[in-house]
Structure 1
Amino acid sequence: MSTGDEVLLEARGLSKTFGHVRALQDANFSAGAGEVTALIGDNGAGKSTLVKCLSGAQQPDHGEIRFGGRPLRLDSPATAQRAGIETVFQDLALASDLDAATNLFLGRELVRPGVLGRFGFLDRRRMRAEAVQAFAELGVNLSDVRAPVAGLSGGQRQSVAVARSVAWATRLIFMDEPTAALGVVQRERVLDTIRRVRDRGVAVVLISHNMPEVLAVADRVEVLRLGRRVARFRAADTTLEELVGAMTGAIDREDQQ
């Protein structure tokens, strides 16, 4: 990162092994506040494992994670959420039998005021109203936020997951292939949302195989290959050919800023 950039999240020497498979091998990674960092690499490069380690879904075997300049032990997704970290996983992590509004507030349900709230009665009307607003801001077209998520299309479920993370992220958000199941119009809306989240000072980490999208929205690009970071680029100063070269092994630029 250039001088003056605030390093919000930094991983040093992360390793993770599954049996005889080394998913991460002394992997480094960094993300700055108020910027979009793209994390790219071929299938099996370790991207999803790295994100899971940095969001509390898995724990690395070795290495250090620093957040806001201090060591942070991410022993669960709940720990990450308390730190202001949200994640859109590839599997979406939605409760299919619940409706879209309830999924948006899952684990953060709003209770009714007064005595009823003390007994845990949910304020479903307010949750639905706020869900409608959140989905509208993302351009999500749902006929009824009270309908079970199981009955939504793949793109609609993807949009619900993105909206949930965007609504609650205060410091950092991981987005693992957030546009994979979306059409062209909805994809552009998600990219616009990423820019808006960045502009409010939140760090965004975008994991994507779509190189044109990466170059369109990212400020920096970090490349993983065989479980370690092999290159870093300023998106404005790189090309599609350089990114592909780093992914395939033709270029190794770990020191590139």
Structure 2
Amino acid sequence: MSDLYYTDTELMITRAALELGNDDTVLVGVGVPNLACNLAKQTHAPDLEMVYESGTVDSDPDALPLSIGDPVLATGARSIVTMYDGFGRYLQAGRIDVGFLGGAQIDRWGNINSTVIGDYDDPKVRLPGSGGACEIASNARRTLIIAPHQRRRFPEEVDFVTSPGYVGGRKGRDERGLRGGPEAVITDMAVMKFDDAGEMYVETIHPGVTREAVQEATGWDLAFADDVTETPTPEADEIRLIREELDPDGIYTGGDE
């Protein structure tokens, strides 16, 4: 375990960055996914191509975007297209390798709910809905999910499937003609992957976190890899890039919190 100080959010950013390859094309929004993509681009994946939901292709922003409509995203972009073209000609056409997702609930099959908590017709909470998330989950070659690890956020079954994961298993996804599927779930406690059946399991546990704590924060009997290991800690240069160049004001990382 490293003596380097880092926050839970910084660990999530650095771990998500490791999931990205040099030849990947990523559909990305703002916040933690944006920081993970830019960190990857400045370290091990200089040719990573970022397509923002607002329609900028291969952007190289010189400042932190505050929304997907921030004009800074036009900086250095190879092209700027409409959202219709971005989702139609890139995502639905199968040209996006990786999509980032989050949600209010994620279940054991990687299904995501961002629509309602409780019964759809009489919900306890009505949420914003899909936006582009269902399209990303259905069409990207693989998806990465980033979320805080809380029992209410990880139920055995979501209240509503806004964005499909492996549905009830990989066969269920295949029967619906969906591309790809979730590849990793990165939380502030662990990194989880999906087995041959399409069910989530723990691959690594973050430093200082116990198996019991991860299980307690999960709403089903969670599987653990036979060789579960400790999540690699961030490198000093990665933390420097995040704090000094990517998010110096701590807008998404929380600064010194």
| TM-score (ref. length: structure 2) | 0.32
TM-score (norm 1): 0.32
